[in-house]
Chains A and B, each alone.
Chain A
Amino acid sequence: MFDRDPAGVRIELRELTKHYPGQPAPAVDNVSLDIPAGELVVFVGPSGCGKTTTMKMINRLVEPTSGQIRIGGQDVLGLHPDELRRHIGYAIQQVGLFPHLTVGQNVAMVPKLLGWPAAKVAARVEELLELVSLDPGTFRDRFPRQLSGGQQQRVGVARALAADPPVMLMDEPFGATDPITREHLQNEFAKLQKQLRKTIIFVTHDFEEAIKLGDRIAVLRERSHIAQYDTPANILAAPADDYVAGFIGQDATLKRLALLRVEDVPYESPLPDPALPAVAAGAALREALDAMVARGADRCSTPSGVITYAELCAAVGPGAATGTATATGTAANAAQEEVTAGDR
């Protein structure tokens, strides 16, 4: 349906507006946004800011008042809405599984609508259930009411992926689960997306989730006005204004440390030192900092070498996110230390 290049399809929103009749102001006002192919873009903003409405215009569950939507170069508003939706994965917070159909039948719905042969549908159901870590033998013939919340969310994601759509729309798909399950689902989904590289629009009001999953984040204010649209690291390093800063909260630097891996900073020595607090390979710098603070040390050991507190500071110092960390590292260190001294 859409022209796919190897990276997937890109989505372009142009001057998109939704004005409900009888409302004084538009719900979504003149939004223009480019979503690169194969990236996960998070719309984050307070309740009622129009983020869900903006998303629902893309699969035309909400018809735009004016503006343009292009998916893979194709003008979406010129397509039949039902046909369009069969090629866009859709997952919502309440999941909305069909309670009278089995898990397998739920997942098979769209492929069947698209006229896939039965054998291909059955194979696809099997493949998808495995992809979302549900054993097909156990779960295929169960009914949604027999599943836990987390399992239902997985089936919801599998169902959205069923016909291998190049584009997915996800509206707080993990919002209704308990914190532990949510974290687990987020991690699994992040891993899945690395492998699938779908073009995804993900709506949430949880900024932590946005940082964790997003390739880019669009911070929205009321009427879906874009306050800032950038990578998580750039938004954390340089929030556009107080509104965005308010969303990030007081611990922007810690959040940035959570985005960086121990492999991202230069090692002081290439050998691990068993005398120092240790963190695992691939751990976030935030964990490294945690280990140092806990032991009162200024360095810690990873399997591939020793990293220092100074390097940690350099990695998140001013200018670090734009890629000039090494050039300004020393100055940043000095500034950081001054601030720390001032705090005392």
Chain B
Amino acid sequence: MTFSEYVVSRWGTLSLAAAEHALVVAIAIGIATAVGVGIGLLTYETPKARGASLALSAGILTIPSLALLTLLIPITGLGWGSTLIALTGYAFLPIIRNTVTGLRGVDAATVEAGRGMGLSSARVLLRVRLPLAWPLILAGVRISTQMLIGIAAIAAYVDGPGLGNQIFEGLARLGSVNSLNATLAGTLGIVVIAVLFDAGFSAVRLLTTPRGLRVRP
């Protein structure tokens, strides 16, 4: 069976796996963005809390994904639960790091002018710092997403959703019928998902970056 025949014959399984792959990444990124940006907003000004949140999220990222997923099995079992928790954990570092860097990187004079005009600290944060930091925050989310799409393949080891199942099944039966096709389909599927997510982020970036930051002098 050629590769294209394989894809056509297994279209149902493949498209479902791809959709699940994209979904689990999207949910994990959604949670990690909400929590990570929140942590960034709360800690960017206090060096100790900022350091702690960055160290913790960096620490999570150093745990090998296979080990983390396996360690989660006794707690959250096989499947979606463990996959989501592990993916969310891995997404934090780029998001928190970029949020903190973005918020702190806003020109001090702009903030001082805002304070001097009588904007409360909450207003300065939400109406000045956040919009100006937004492109960088979005870049962090984008990096995390690309990372998670790759890591999500490993989730197949804990019976998680996604295209990883295709890859690992293929590798396990290497040499037998369709084993190479399965591995290829899984890998290419992941590449396609990554490209689609990235295109999506380009569009979001274009639509949500304040126009004043895009104009040329």
Could you name 28 residue pairs across A and B whose Cβ atoms are closer than 8 Å? Answer: A61-B115, A82-B120, A83-B118, A85-B115, A85-B117, A86-B117, A87-B118, A94-B107, A95-B109, A96-B107, A96-B110, A96-B112, A96-B114, A98-B113, A98-B114, A99-B132, A100-B131, A102-B212, A109-B117, A109-B119, A110-B117, A143-B211, A145-B215, A145-B216, A146-B217, A156-B113, A159-B117, A169-B116
Shortest C-beta distance, A317 to chain B (Å), equals: 44
Chain A residue total in the interface (Cβ 8 A) = 30
Convert B95-128 into 0s and 1s, putting 1 for each residue whose CB lies closer than 8 angstroms to a CB of A.
Answer: 0000000000001011111111111100000001
- Shortest distance in angstroms between A303's beta carbon and chain B's nearest beta carbon? 45
Whether A59 and B116, one on each chain, are in contact in the complex, defined by CB atoms closer than 8 angstroms, is yes
> In whole angstroms, how far apart are the Cα atoms of A297 and B216 in the complex?
55
Q: Which of these, B109, B118, B210, contacts A85 with CB under 8 Å?
A: B118
Check if A61 sits within 8 Å of B110, measured CB to CB. Answer: no
User: Which residues of B approach A to under 8 Å, CB–CB?
Assistant: 107, 109-120, 128, 131-132, 210-213, 215-217
- Contacts beyond the supplied A98-B113, A100-B132: 17 A-B pairs with Cβ under 8 Å: A59-B116, A82-B118, A83-B118, A85-B117, A92-B113, A92-B116, A93-B109, A94-B109, A95-B109, A95-B113, A96-B110, A96-B113, A99-B132, A99-B210, A99-B213, A100-B131, A169-B116
Q: Report yes or no: A61 in contact with B212, Cβ–Cβ below 8 A.
A: no
Task: Name the residue in B112, B113, B213 with the highest tally of chain A Cβ atoms < 10 Å from its Cβ.
Answer: B113
Chain A residues with a Cβ under 8 A of chain B: 59, 61, 82-87, 90, 92-102, 109-110, 113, 143-146, 156, 159, 169
- How far is it, in angstroms, between the C-alpha of A109 and the C-alpha of B115 when the chains are bound? 12
Q: A145-B212, A145-B215, A145-B217 are in contact. Are A98 and B110 (CB under 8 A)?
A: yes
Given contacts A143-B212, A145-B215, A146-B217, contact A90 B116 (CB under 8 A): yes
